[in-house]
Amino acid sequence: MEELSAEAAAALATTQTTAESEAWYHEYLGRKGRMTAVLRGLGQLSPEQRPQVGKRANEIKQVLEQALAEHQEQIAADEMARVLAAEGIDVTMPGRRP
């Protein structure tokens, strides 16, 4: 599980667009994602192991979800800055007369 967490964090760091981060979400946290498979496999563990493993799995999932949200905010800000820079509108200039 720790290896999966480290791998997911490294993969998230390499995403640079919204589409890539969505693909990352589906691969790791989606319905058929790798983290979801770990959580579904908890039923196969012994009753003594289940609480500790389940708790750690949920903690990892929450950390990954938080990291994804922060990364998506950063990507959105970068994309907005790129769009604004490309437009090149100077809002301090007087408007055009019709």
Write the pLDDT tens digit of every residue in 79-93: 888 888 887 777 787
In a domain, 94, yes or no: no
pTM: 0.78
Residue 74 within any structural domain of the chain: yes
Across all residues in the chain, what is the average pLDDT?
Answer: 90
Q: What is the residue whose two structure tokens read 């903690």?
A: 59
Question: Per the structure, how many domains does the chain have?
Answer: 1
Residue 95 lies in a domain: no
Exposed/middle/buried for 64, CB within 10 Å: 0-12, 13-18, 19+? buried
In a domain, 45, yes or no: yes
Q: Give the model's pLDDT for residue 35.
A: 92
Indicate whether 92 belongs to any domain: no
The pLDDT score that the predictor gives to residue 65 is 95
User: Alpha helices of 1-98 — where are they, by DSSP H?
Assistant: 2-14, 18-28, 34-40, 50-87
The answer to whether residue 89 is domain-embedded is no
Domain that holds residue 13: 2-84
Check: CB of residue 61 under 8 Å from CB of residue 35.
yes
| Residue 21, in any domain of the structure | yes
What pLDDT is recorded for position 23?
95
Classify residue 96: in a domain, yes or no: no
> Mind listing the pLDDT tens digit for each residue in 47-78?
999 999 999 999 999 999 999 999 999 999 99
Q: What is the pLDDT of residues 22-52, one digit of tens each?
A: 999 999 999 999 999 988 998 898 999 999 9
